[in-house]
Structure 1
Amino acid sequence: MTTSYRPAPPCVLVFSGSDPSGGAGMQADIPAISALGCHPLSVPTALTVQDNVSVFAVHPIDAELIRHQAQVLIDRFDIRAVKLGIAGNRRNAETIVELILQLRSRRPDLPVVVDPVLASGHGNRLSTDDPAQAIAPLYAVATVILPNLNEADRLCGGEHGREAQAAILMQRGCEHVLLKGGHGPQEEDVVNRWFGPEGAGASWRWPRLPDEFHGTGCTLAAALSAMLAHGLGMRDAIDAAQHYCQHALATSYAIAPGQRIPNRVPLHEKSFAGEYK
């Protein structure tokens, strides 16, 4: 039998919580990153008790266990991007920052994608500390942060306009901001707005689908980390990640009443990784 080994894919280091329902968190990150031609290296930050509607409990992993898991991976593999989901508490976030600074001592331009998850889609907290305070250490290492409109209001204050909120996040250290319109005021379309350095920016408008989905933000952030690991520039990476995410939602499925599960492994011949590399 002959072999047809594929070239080594870029590795993406993922820090996120474990969702036993398989819809969000690490269980969303791994298939999305794999579908886009990268290899996910996964470090769980918290164990959650949840289904496709509610989060019932969050149990953060010990910070030193997170460090040990990640250090073994950092010492062995060439990591091309990092994706951050929930940290579980502030101590875990501080530990993750230390690990990223270590990685950046070797690869200064390492892209770091931060999904600032403060609560589930139904408002359940996802940190044992104050969620907004728990993620504060991550601003300084964020290449791009992806808050939805509710999260932007929580992090920056709802009295500020969207451009002002993006400016606040950039002043805190985030190089790029992608404000997502999927949660918040229910307009007819979803409008996602990118703000970058030196006035860079763009917006995208997507049809608002009629249902609710489990792990949409995780899917988009994971897809963006994969596109950046492939070496795409920020605008192209954001564009490609959104196309992938929109397709995952449009072809989603239901495993029970409640939020639908995005289809992160497209069952057709179109290769998103091949198209956008």
Structure 2
Amino acid sequence: MTLAESSYRAAPPCVLVFSGSDPSGGAGMQADIPAISALGCHPLSVPTALTVQDNVSVFAVHPLDAELVRHQAQALIDRFRISAVKLGIAGSRANAEVIAALIRQLRVAQPDLPVVLDPVLANGKGDNLSNDDAARVLEPLYALATVITPNLNEANRLCGAGLTPARQAARLMARGCRHVLLKGGHGPQQEDVVNRWFGTFFQSEHVEEAVESAHWSWPRLPDEFHGSGCTLAAALAAELAKGTPMRNAIAAAQDYTQHALNTSYAIAAGQRIPNRVPAFVVPSAGENHD
């Protein structure tokens, strides 16, 4: 066996990603790919839309044709074993319906295939990320989600404002989502970020509430970040692809994301870019590797 052959790593789990392309490199597919790779998995990437955006504004969204989305994914499904699916923006209702059909196809052979749904409705500024009604686009995907990861703004839009987190989570679970990770990054700025995991749905004659399984509190950083939600959802998909139990997967994904935010960088004024790629020290030219 040669030195090169002995250095080969075992095949990593594959995560099938459906998300939009962000030319600024901060969010969407450009966030998903490095996050999944950094956590030891291989991303299989199917773009659903091309966006025109920078680290502040979304100027346009161009959904890809639904048949093209299907064809891209089917070629991957036919060739590779998929260990998890990560869903970002679908771009259109037609794309969401195609993606739902593909997931159902995968689950014929893999009933427990993890699916992470990041219900991205808009960027941090509030610019829409779908030409259709972004909330309606998600409807075919709820029942297929192992875990959905809305921030507070998204939860308010999907479930209604003024509800407790437990009631919001219950409304999402009633649509078919098995687990809800309600993120607190868009909460009151004077408070810590509290992320809440709901894994049990309770329904009585008069009350629908989800039961909080765990919560995590993080110091609120002073800046805004481009693609933090994508990073967390992609990291969670990677952990679930490796077989990590849900509680541990959520904790590990948050640890990774917090580190990416703590070591973020600015390429222009506006939102900072999370640092998703661990540093690699290049050996000096004179170093001996015999």
Class of the TM-score when normalised by the shorter of the 2 chains: over 0.9
Q: Which residue of 2 aligns with 1:2?
A: 3
- How far 1:197 moved relative to its partner? 2.7
Structure 2 counterpart of 1:113, one-letter code: V
CA distance in 2, matches of 1:187, 1:228: 32
Structure 2 counterpart of 1:148, one-letter code: N
TM-score (norm 1): 0.95
Q: Which residue of 2 aligns with 1:44?
A: 47
Q: Which residue of 1 aligns with 2:256?
A: 244
Which residue, out of 60, 72, 82, partners 2:63? Answer: 60
Number of matched residues?
A: 269
Which residue, out of 166, 170, 189, partners 1:167? Answer: 170
Is contact 2:86-2:115 (8 Å) kept? Answer: yes
CA distance in 2, matches of 1:187, 1:109: 40
Is it true that 1:109 corresponds to 2:93 in the alignment? no
- How far 1:200 moved relative to its partner? 5.9
Is contact 2:22-2:30 (8 Å) kept? Answer: yes
CA distance in 1, matches of 2:187, 2:125: 12
Q: Which residue of 1 aligns with 2:286?
A: none
- How far 1:89 moved relative to its partner? 1.1
CA distance in 2, matches of 1:5, 1:197: 42
User: Aligned residues: percent identity?
Assistant: 76
Any idea what SS the aligned residue of 1:13 has? strand
Structure 2 counterpart of 1:169, one-letter code: L
Q: Which residue of 1 aligns with 2:238?
A: 226
Q: Which residue of 2 aligns with 1:85?
A: 88
Q: Which residue of 1 aligns with 2:79?
A: 76
Q: Which residue of 2 aligns with 1:257?
A: 269
CA distance in 1, matches of 2:264, 2:38: 15
CA distance in 1, matches of 2:157, 2:65: 27
CA distance in 2, matches of 1:201, 1:145: 15
Q: Which residue of 1 aligns with 2:17?
A: 14
Q: Deviations over 1:32-60 (max 9, x none)?
A: 00000000000000000000010000000
Q: Which residue of 1 aligns with 2:208?
A: none
Q: Which residue of 2 aligns with 1:275?
A: none
- How far 1:268 moved relative to its partner? 6.4
Residue range with higher mean Cα deviation, 154-163 or 118-127: 154-163
Is contact 2:85-2:116 (8 Å) kept? Answer: yes
Any idea what SS the aligned residue of 2:244 has? coil
Q: Which residue of 1 aligns with 2:139?
A: 136
Q: Deviations over 1:97-138 (max 9, x none)?
A: 000000000110000000000000000000011111011111
Aligned-residue RMSD, C-alpha = 1.1
Relative to structure 1, the CA distance from residue 178 to residue 187 in structure 2 (aligned partners, 3 Å threshold; closer, same or farther) is farther
CA distance in 1, matches of 2:28, 2:275: 14
Any idea what SS the aligned residue of 2:3 has? coil
- How far 1:218 moved relative to its partner? 0.2
Give the 4+ runs in structure 1 shifted more than 3 A: none
CA distance in 1, matches of 2:212, 2:115: 19
Is contact 2:19-2:90 (8 Å) kept? Answer: yes
Gaps of 5+ in 2: 202-210, 282-290
- How far 1:183 moved relative to its partner? 1.1
